[in-house]
Chains A and B, each alone.
Chain A
Amino acid sequence: MLTEKNQYSYLRKELLTRFFTFLFESKNPLEINKIPYEMIPSGGDPRRCCIYKDREMIKYRLLSLMGYDLSESFDESPSLYEFFNRCGKDRAPALPPLSVITAACSSCRSKQYRVTELCRGCLARPCQTICPADAISMKSGKALIDGEKCINCGKCRESCPYSAIVYIPVPCEEVCPVGAIIKKEGHAIEIDRDKCISCGRCTRSCPFGAIVEKSHIVPLVAAIKQKKDMTLMIAPSLYDQLPGADSQILAALKAAGFSRVYELQEAAEIVAEEEGKELLERMENGQSFMTTSCCPAYVETVKKHIPELASHVSDTPSPMMAGARILREKYPGTTIVFAGPCLAKKVEAYEKGGVDLVLNFEELGTLLIAKSVEILDYPAAEEVTSFALGRGFARSGGVGKAVKASLEEDIHCSQIDGLSVKTIRLMKTWIKKAPEGRLVEVMACEGGCSRGPCSLNS
C-alpha cells in the first residue's frame, strides 16, 4: 500500500471536511457545485492533464461519498446539486461498497519486468542465463525482455549486478489478496464482484485514487440534523488515532452530534468469552480447530474462496454485532453508527442488519473538524484502562489472547496475520491437514484492525 503520508490521503480528508461543512452549514444547496472549484482553484498545478479534469474527478469522488456506484456507466451530465438532490438520505447505500472511477484509472500497463538503460550488456549476462522462459535476447548491446515469453518470475532482476532490471507492478492488483482486479491491457481496471472481499487495500494503493468507497455520511448528517437519537459505537483501535486522553476523545465525539458513545471493548470481551465456550463445545464434538469470525474481510474470503472452511468459522457474532444487539435492547429507537478503520464492516453491517450506518476513521476525524470540536478543550479524566483484553482486539494476536484468557485450560492458539495469496493458499490446505492451534485468529490486515485501510494514524 502507499505510505500514509501522501497527497491523495490529504485530498480525501480535505474533501470530506469540505463536504461535511457543506452538509452541516450550507443554507444554499447549490453551493455543493463550488466544492470542486474550491479544492482545485484556478492557477494551481494540475495533478492530471489539466485542472478541469482534476475538478471533474472531485465531482466523481463526491458522487461516491453520496453513495453512487460509479462502475456502471451512468448519465454524468447533471450537476452535483442535482445528484445531491437525488441521493438517498435516510439509509446506507446498497452494496458493493467499492467502485472504480474509470476516468481516474491510469490504465496501467500490465505488470512486467523491464530492462532499463542502466543495462551495460555485460559479458556474463546472468539474466539471459538464468531466465527459465528463454525470454531475454540482446539488442543493440542491451538485454531485452520478450513480454510474450516472460513468466514474471523475477529471476533476471535478482541476478543483475547493476540493478538494471525493474519490476513495474499494477499497484491495486499487487495488493489484492484474492485476484479480484480485472486488468485488461489498455483498459481501466474493473473489480470482480464475485471475488472481492472488501478488504479495501486497493483503495489505498492506487496512486491515482481511482478506487473509491461509498460513504454513509449523507444519511449520518441528515439524522444528526433531525436530532434523532444517535448512538456511536467505536472500535477499540480508535484511541491512538486522535489526540488527547480517552475521556477527552469520548466527550468530543459526543459533542459532534451523538446522544451517546459506546466503546466496543466491553462487547469484545463478551464475544471472547462466548467464542471460548464455542471452542470447547466444538472440541467436544470432535472438531479439530475453529477460526475467529470478527474480521469481516476474512469471513467474506471464506464465503467466496474457501467455502469448505465455513464449518470451522466461529458462529459467535463480532463485537460490532454484539454491541449493536446490546444497544438495540437498551435504546430501541436509536440510530446505531459504527466507526472503525475497516471497509468490510460496511458489508457485514449491510448483510446482517442491526447497525444502521458505518463510518471510517477518516470520516469520523473530519466530522470533528467540520463541527469545530476541539478534543483537547475537554477535561482529561484520570485514565483507568478497563477492558484491556477487549481493547486488545485492535491488534493482531489480541483476539486469540482474549479468548484464551476466558478459558481455564491452556489452549494452543495460532494466527494468520494478514491475508495474502500465500496465507489463503495455506488456509485452503487446512481441510486436509488441520492447522497448528485449536483456535486460529485470522485478521485480513497485517497488524490487525489498527492497521486497517481507513485508519488515520496507524
Chain B
Amino acid sequence: MEKIIVEICTGTACFVMGSGKLLSIEESLPANIRDYVEVQPVLCCGLCRDWTNSKPPVVSVAGKMIAGADEEKIIKAVMAALEGGNLC
C-alpha cells in the first residue's frame, strides 16, 4: 500500500519557526497510522516569504500544503488523506 508522504521543509525560516521539532513527528503519530506515513525533509520552496498567506513552517501532506504547520494540523491532514484513500 502506498504511504502518505509528509514533506517537512527544513529551510531556515521553517526550521527556526518550528519545523526542526516536527521532523520527529513520526514518534508522536498514533500507532495505528504511523506505518502509513513517511516523513521526508525538503528544501525551502519560497512560500515562507509570504507571512500573510503561508506562514512558516510549511509542510505538505500527500501533496496538500499546510502553512503554519504544527503536530495537530499534520495529524489531521494525515487522517483526512487516509480516509480519502479508504485506507483504514
B2-24: which have CB < 8 Å to A?
A: 10-13, 15-18, 20-21
* Total of A-B residue pairs, C-beta within 8 Å: 58
Which single residue of chain A is at the shortest CB-CB distance from B70?
A: A5
Interface residues of chain A: helix, strand, loop or mixed (majority): helix
A375 to B56, CA, bound (A): 16
Contact A374:B17 (CB < 8 A) given known A243-B12, A252-B12:
no
Given A243-B20, A366-B16, A369-B16, residue A374 in contact with residue B11 (CB < 8 A): yes
Q: Closest residue to A369 on the B side, CB-wise? A: B13
**CB of A17, distance to nearest CB on chain B (Å):** 8
**Cβ of B16 and Cβ of A376 under 8 Å apart?**
no
List of A residues within 8 angstroms of B35 by Cβ: none
A372 touches B49 (CB 8 A): yes
A287 to chain B, nearest CB (A): 44
A456–B16 CB distance below 8 A:
yes
Chain B interface, >50% SS class: helix
* Per-residue interface assignment for chain A, residues 361 to 383, with 1 indicating a CB less than 8 Å from any chain B CB and 0 otherwise: 00001101100111110000000
Do A374 and B16 touch across chains, with their CB atoms under 8 A apart? no
Contact-size category for B? 20 to 34
What residues of B have a CB within 8 angstroms of the CB of A163 in the complex?
A: none
A306–B44 CA distance with the chains assembled, in angstroms: 50
**B43, CB-defined interface residue at 8 Å:** yes
Q: How far is the CA of A372 from the CA of B44 in the complex (A)?
A: 11
- Say which residue of A4, A5, A14, A243 sits within 8 Å of B15 (CB atoms): A243
- Which of chain A's residues 342-371 have a Cβ closer than 8 Å to chain B? 365-366, 368-369
**What is the CA–CA distance of A5 and B20 in the complex, to the nearest angstrom?**
11
**A430 interface hit (Cβ, 8 Å):** no
Residues of A within 8 A of B55 (CB): 14
Knowing A5-B18, A373-B12, say if A14 contacts B51 (CB, 8 Å): yes
Q: Tell yes or no: B38 within 8 A of A by CB.
A: no
Return chain B residues, CB-CB under 8 Å to A374. Answer: 11-12, 44
**A residues in contact (CB < 8 Å) with B:** 4-5, 10, 13-14, 17-18, 38, 241-243, 252, 365-366, 368-369, 372-376, 456-457
Could you list which residues of chain B lie within 8 angstroms of chain A, going by C-beta atoms?
10-13, 15-18, 20-21, 43-44, 48-49, 51-52, 55-56, 70-71
